[in-house]
Structure 1
Amino acid sequence: MIHEVDDIQFSFSKSKRRTASLFVERDGSVSLIVPEELSLNEIEGIVRQKKSWIYRSLAEWKDLNASRVNREFVSGETFLYLGRSYKLHVAQDLKADLIFKDGRFLIREEKLHACADLFKEFYRSKGKAKIQKRANYYQRKVGATPKAIKVLELGHRWASCTPEGNLNFHWKCMMAPLSILDYIIVHELCHLHYPNHTDAFWNEVDKVLPDYRKRHEWLKLNGASLDIVNVNQAVLI
């Protein structure tokens, strides 16, 4: 449900937490996660209090979103996989609908109408093994083990850590360079210790990835380009 304070539209969800968190999502929407006991008036008060920060963040989002790339599902178009661009080739004689072979993506011509869904499934299937492997490596450094790891559609978030200790990752993470994927994984593992972005949380991230600020900035600047965008539907998927 969308609410509005002055000229700021926002949504919120409630959680068993002590503090509120405010986000400008990757689609430019404003959302909050708040303690269960907060009333709507109190939530609106938080939005008013953070109005200047929201305006600055929305202006920054508009600039960063300029990096979005419109991709067409035609031979020669490039698609990202672990930070590198590979060309798409439309073929007629393929046993599988979409495969990655010899440094390029191959898709059956009669499956072009489902290209977006096929790419999503490719990233999901590859992500299950890759993210689990990288998480196994870093969880020893962080000292935290998730109950489960899933790769799925997360709307406008790269990843999430649930109160139950599960980690969810957006399939789009598999389009990012490995160093950025590692940052997203470490970020969520550290949330198993600290659910909010406190100084203690960032100190924990810093212990594992001393250059996390550089990786965070890369994702901030280039995140909009990590997408499958059909020329006829230039929206985040």
Structure 2
Amino acid sequence: MSDSSTDNEASLHQYQDIQYSLKQSNRKTTSLFIERDGSVTVRAPLPYDMAKIESIIEQKRSWIYRNLAEWEDLNRVQVHREFVNGEGFLYLGRNYRLQLVDEQDEALVLKNGRFLLRRDHVDSGMEIFKNFYRTKGLDRINQRLTHFAPKMGVTFGSVRVMELQHRWASCTSKGDLNFHWRCLMAPLAVLDYIIIHELAHRLYRNHDAKFWDAVDKVLPDYQRHVSWLRHNGAGMGL
């Protein structure tokens, strides 16, 4: 879910029938990921050994096929929300119906169990909702970071809620944390998992056994939240 911001520009490669994006950085090991959008990414040290990279891809071929098949199944039906009365929008795991109103001070508010959007702002609905998630998300995430960081014995740098291409969140080598605004659609427990995941990267950069042990110590049922994201991530959009 995370890696250093010191990655060089990604380059596209093809190994037999598997297309992948290669990112190089000052890391010691080579790792392979299936990104949130279903693309394959290989992160390798500088300088990289192409023969070693292709060997890893070959070793993980069955794993890649299995995960891509699951991704295609889960993402077969994409969610496209319309800014009309009665449409449902997720916030912290709950579905709130949209109501268009003629008069209110703010473009969008969450009130009495409904999202209220000014009718004259419908054409900008997507950006208004994204801004809502960014603004509310920053406060919420900062609260949870302040709660969990001392428990894990780590610190962190700047925090941003933004548009991330492939990941739910990321942690740079300097400790700056970035979270996708879509995270705010997930239940609080799942959001906590995403936050704990990134804080664990302050201890271990790679997803090795020590990394997952660090997550498990704070959130023993984290695998349930990983599963939730895999099965519900496609529905977390606008």
- TM-score, normalised by the number of residues in structure 1: 0.91
**Which whole-Å CA distance do the structure 2 matches of 1:13 and 1:118 have between them?**
33
**Matched-pair identity in %:** 51
Residues 1:127 and 2:123 are matched in the alignment = no
**Which whole-Å CA distance do the structure 1 matches of 2:84 and 2:118 have between them?**
11
Q: CA deviation at 1:40?
A: 4.2
Instruction: Determine which of 184, 197, 215 is the counterpart of 2:225.
Output: 215
**Which whole-Å CA distance do the structure 1 matches of 2:108 and 2:51 have between them?**
50
Secondary structure of 2:37's match? Answer: coil
Any gaps of 5 or more consecutive residues in structure 2?
A: 1-10
Any gaps of 5 or more consecutive residues in structure 1?
A: 229-237
Residues 1:158 and 2:168 are matched in the alignment = yes
8 Å CA contact 1:67–1:222 kept in 2: the answer is: no
Give the corresponding residue for 1:235: none
**Which whole-Å CA distance do the structure 2 matches of 1:41 and 1:109 have between them?**
58
Residues 1:146 and 2:156 are matched in the alignment = yes
**Which whole-Å CA distance do the structure 2 matches of 1:168 and 1:70 have between them?**
25
Give the corresponding residue for 1:167: 177
Q: How does 1:86-101 map to 2 (within 5 A)?
A: 86-101=96-111
Q: How does 1:53-92 map to 2 (within 5 A)?
A: 53-66=63-76, 68-92=78-102
**Which whole-Å CA distance do the structure 2 matches of 1:156 and 1:95 have between them?**
35
**Which whole-Å CA distance do the structure 1 matches of 2:174 and 2:31 have between them?**
18
Q: How does 1:110-121 map to 2 (within 5 A)?
A: 110-121=120-131
Give the corresponding residue for 1:33: 43
RMSD between aligned residues: 1.5
Query: Greater CA deviation, 118-127 or 50-59?
Result: 50-59
* Cα deviation 1:93-137 (Å, max 9, x = unaligned): 232222222221111222211111111110000011100000100
Residues 1:11 and 2:21 are matched in the alignment = yes
- TM-score, normalised by the number of residues in structure 2: 0.91
Q: CA deviation at 1:198?
A: 0.7
